[in-house]
Amino acid sequence: MQGVVYSGVMALRCTTAIVRSVPNVFVEALRLDGSQAVVLEKAKKQLTHYIETLERCGVRVVTLPSDERFPDCPFVEDVAVVIGARALVTRPGHPSRREEVGVMREALKLLQKAPQIYEMEDPEACVDGGDVLFTGREIFVGQSKRTNEKGVQCLAKTFPEFSVTSFPVRDSLHLKSLATMCGEDMIAVGGDQEAMETLNRMKSQAKFKYEYVQLDNNAAANVLLVNGNVFVKPGDEIGHNNYDILKKRVKGRVIDVPFSEFYKVDGCLTCCSVLINQEAVSG
C-alpha cells in the first residue's frame, strides 16, 4: 500500500477519529493518585461533548463500544499510533490493557481507506501511544514505565521517514502528560521539574525548530490540536492564568473541552482519540 508522506501542518491534519465509549467500570481505571472519585455520568457527558466537538471541527468520528472488562478502554490513544498511511498496533505497558488492542486493530481495518497495519513483533517491546508525540516533522517518544527502548526501536522501524528521539519520563504517566502540540511547530509544556527537563531536552535534541508555550502546571500542557483548532480544558480546571496564556499564544481557535473526570484517572485530552488523516492513504 502506498501513501502520501506529508510533513508540517498537513501531517497533523485529521479527517477521522476513533474513540471508545465509557464503561461503568471506568471508576476503577488505573491512576497514580486515587484520592478523587470519578463521577461516572459526568465522565460520559464529557466524552459526548468531546465527540461532538471533534465533529464540529470536521472530523468523522468512529465510536467503538465500551467493554466492562477494561476500565481504561476509553484511552484509545495508547493502543495505536497512526501517522500518515501507517498504523502501529501497540503492546501497552500495563498488562491489564493489552487485550484492548484487538478492537482497535479491527476498527482500523474497517476504515474506508485503511492504513497499513504494523504489529509489535518483539515480545519484549512496549509502547503506550500517550508517550508518542508526533510534531508533524519528527517523533518524540517518552521512555516511561509504559514505553521501553525496544518499543522506541519498533516505532523507528515502523515510521522510518521520521526522526525518532526519546526522552526519559520518570514521574509522569506519559510524555504527553508533560508536552503536546498546540499549533504548527508549537509545543505546550508543563511546569514541574520533569516538564522543564523535557523542555530543555527538546530544545537541544529536536531536529527542527519549535516555539514553546510554557505553562505552570502539567494539566494545562495537555491540549489537543485538531485541524487548526486547539482543545483546552477550561480555566477552572487548569488555572485561569494558564488558560489566558494559551488563548494569547495559540494561533488557532481555542475551544473549551471540560475533562475533569478523565484527569482524575490520569486521562488527558489527547488520550481519548486516535486521529487519522485518511487523505494520506491512497487506494
- Look at residues 146, 147, 151, 95 and name the one whose alpha carbon lies nearest to residue 122: 151
Looking at domain 8-280, what is its CATH homologous superfamily?
A: L-arginine/glycine Amidinotransferase; Chain A (3.75.10.10)
The mean-pLDDT minimum among 24-38, 103-117, 151-165, 183-197 falls in 24-38
pLDDT score recorded for residue 5: 66
pLDDT score recorded for residue 109: 97
The string of pLDDT tens digits covering residues 36-66 is: 899 999 999 999 999 999 999 999 999 999 9
For residues 209 and 165, give the distance between their C-alpha atoms in angstroms, rounded to a whole number. Answer: 14
Across the beta sheet with 224-226, what order do the strands follow?
224-226, 229-232, 253-256
Mean pLDDT taken over the chain: 95
Do the beta carbons of residue 143 and residue 152 sit within 8 Å? yes
The string of pLDDT tens digits covering residues 196-255 is: 999 999 999 999 999 999 999 999 999 999 999 999 999 999 999 999 999 999 999 999
For residues 1 and 228, give the distance between their C-alpha atoms in angstroms, rounded to a whole number. Answer: 28
Catalytic annotation, pick one of 73, 126, 174, 272? 174
Question: pLDDT over 90 for what percent of the chain?
Answer: 91
Tell me, yes or no, if 271 is annotated catalytic.
yes
Q: Residue 216 has which C-alpha cell?
A: 505552570
Is pTM beyond 0.85? Reply is: yes
**168 pLDDT tier (thresholds 50, 70, 90):** very high
- Look at residues 65, 17, 23, 10 and name the one whose alpha carbon lies nearest to residue 231: 17
Domain ranges of the chain: 8-280
pLDDT score recorded for residue 1: 43
Q: In the predicted model, is pLDDT for residue 283 greater than 70?
A: no
pLDDT score recorded for residue 105: 98
Catalytic annotation, pick one of 182, 268, 271, 272? 271
CA distances from 240 to 182, 219, 232, 245, 262 (A): 17, 12, 12, 9, 19
SS3 assignment, position 151: helix
Find residue 140's DSSP bridge partners: 133, 165
For residues 243 and 236, give the distance between their C-alpha atoms in angstroms, rounded to a whole number. Answer: 9
DSSP 45: H
- Look at residues 49, 13, 15 and name the one whose alpha carbon lies nearest to residue 260: 49
- Average pLDDT on 31-36 reads 82
pLDDT score recorded for residue 50: 98
The string of pLDDT tens digits covering residues 97-127 is: 999 999 999 999 999 889 999 999 999 999 9
Cα dihedral value 122, 70, 277, 221, nearest 10: -100
Tell me, yes or no, if 174 is annotated catalytic.
yes
Q: In the predicted model, is pLDDT for residue 194 greater than 60?
A: yes
